[in-house]
Amino acid sequence: MVIVGAQWGDEGKGKVTDLLAERADLVVRFQGGNNAGHTIVREGEVFKLHLVPSGILHPGTVCAIGNGVVIDPEILTGEIEGLKRQGVSTGNLKISANAHLIMPYHVFLDMAGEQKLGSLSIGTTRRGIGPCYADKSSRLGIRVQDLLDEKILRKKIMAAMEPKRQLLRPHAKDPALDLHAMTEEYVTYGHRLEPYIADTAHLCWDALDAGKSVLFEGAQGALLDLDHGTYPFVTSSNPIAGSACIGAGVGPRDIDEVWGITKAYSTRVGSGPFPTELDDEIGDRLRTAGGEVGTTTGRPRRCGWLDLVGLKYAVRLNGMTGLAITKLDVLSGIDPLRVCVRYRGTEGAQFEEFPYHQSVLHHAAAEYDELPGFAEDITGARSEEDLPDAAREYLRYIADFVGVPVVLIGVGPGREQVIWVGDQETPALKAA
Ligand code: IMP
């Protein structure tokens, strides 16, 4: 089963993964890096994770960081130490030997690239994600396995830095970019990560062949997809379900269910088109009530109405079988509610489908349907019957529009603040 974001990221994938991971045998993260982040609150204790799958909190679940992820070893070793300090065993963590490493120069290049773009900047998380994936494609990447051989590591770093010399000139004296110091630092990370390094694709095959349940966890969301998102305002990997095959090393037939996670409204961080963005008091209200501040960068998120045109697109791109709708409680007290059902172009053209052309999307105005709002506090609801009629109607409208059943509803930040719809909890977790 695959868990993916259906919007621009930050939909609450961490929480859903955490819930499902409890009964999964293996959780595999398949793309992205520490541009993602989620906070899990467990019995009052806060866990902040960027790279380690949230399944790590369940003692029986093996957690793998797949080959498709880009790893900043400083962040990962810090996360492992932090978990240990909090009394969480990391014995079940596995790291793909083939995953690529974020190097100090990737972070410098990310920042320099953004600066150069000026007003056209992407608004990246400045974690070096794009330059790291670029090196991977250029076959100049450094992989986790390279950490175990100092000579190879030094040679590869040298080769990777060579074509970047010009761009890195302003930082030439920065000790972080000194070849020997960098090699030494990364060898140290290698020693610390060595016990976790594994052939994670093989782990997946063994688990799948044994009929165990495997959860593939994506980061970001469909509209930030490098190929299908709002390019160039996207991340540098593919956060859609098909990418689980590549980023974990399994075939399409190994995937049964695909759950997409969406908020009951929309948010976006960074630049790029956002047709339902609200620059008014409702937008402010969503931001405050939803705590819409980035976990990774602390940036306030842009907020807006739910975009059903974008959501329907995400459903198709991912071959979604179920939709989890989070943060429904945040809409309480807003009446009426609006959902975007089509876009209108500059010359009056109507778009029922997500437009592929960047210029069309940039100028698209959202057109809405209005639905009745609800005033009740729903944070205590634990079944659909506990929800006010208007909230149920809102969910029904979404499911009908995009043609996928709602399987899970989030009504608050707590682990227990969810509604499992129908009998989804069991089938979703059945062994493959
Ligand atoms: P990058 O992934 O740091 O290169 O950033 C590219 C774009 O993706 C920017 O608009 C970021 O704000 C956005 N982005 C990356 N990761 C996340 C995430 O986990 N949640 C939301 N937006 C993200």
Instruction: Report residue 289: phi and psi, to 5°.
Output: -65, -35
Give me the residues of the chain with pLDDT under 50, please.
Answer: 426-432
Identify the bridge partners of residue 63 per DSSP, sorted by sequence position: 27, 93
- Which atom of ligand 1 is found nearest the CA of 224? 8
Would you name the residues annotated as active-site residues? 10, 38
**Cα atoms found within 13 Å of the Cα of residue 411, Cβ hemisphere only:** 24
With a 6 Å cutoff on the Cβ, whether 338 touches ligand 1 is: no
Nearest CA to ligand 1 atom 19: 36
Q: How far apart are the first and last CA of the chain?
A: 8
- Architecture per CATH, domain 2-91+199-429, reads as Alpha-Beta Complex (3.90)
- 201-231 as b/e, with b when 16 or more CB fall inside 10 Å? bebbbebbeeeebbbbbbbbbbbbbbebbbe
Torsion 408-304-312-403 (CA) sign: positive
Nearest to 392 by CA among 337, 354, 341: 337
Q: Do 100-196 and 2-91+199-429 have the same topology in CATH? A: no
**Residue with the two structure tokens 């670029």:** 134
CA distance 9 to 263: 10
pLDDT in tens, 114-137: 999 999 999 999 999 999 999 999
- Which atom of ligand 1 is found nearest the CA of 237? 2
With a 6 Å cutoff on the Cβ, whether 132 touches ligand 1 is: no
Distance 108 CA to ligand 1 centre (A): 17
With a 6 Å cutoff on the Cβ, whether 124 touches ligand 1 is: yes
Residues 6+ apart with CB under 8 A from 155: none
Distance 249 CA to ligand 1 centre (A): 24
Instruction: Output the pLDDT for position 423.
Output: 66
Q: Does domain 100-196 match CATH 1.10.300.10?
A: yes
Question: β-strands 100-101, 70-71: how paired?
Answer: parallel
Identify the three-state secondary structure at position 191. helix
CA distance 20 to 196: 23
Distance 237 CA to ligand 1 centre (A): 10
Nearest to 391 by CA among 341, 432, 331, 302: 331
Residue type, 327: K
Instruction: Output the pLDDT for position 215.
Output: 98
What residue ranges do the domains of the chain occupy?
Answer: 2-91+199-429, 100-196
The structure tokens listed for 134 are: 């670029």
Nearest CA to ligand 1 atom 1: 124
pLDDT in tens, 258-283: 999 999 999 999 999 999 999 999 99
Is residue 28 within 8 Å of residue 66, measured between CB atoms?
A: yes
Nearest CA to ligand 1 atom 5: 124
Does the N-terminal peptide bond of residue 53 adopt cis geometry, omega within 30 degrees of 0? no
With a 6 Å cutoff on the Cβ, whether 125 touches ligand 1 is: yes
Instruction: Output the pLDDT for position 424.
Output: 54
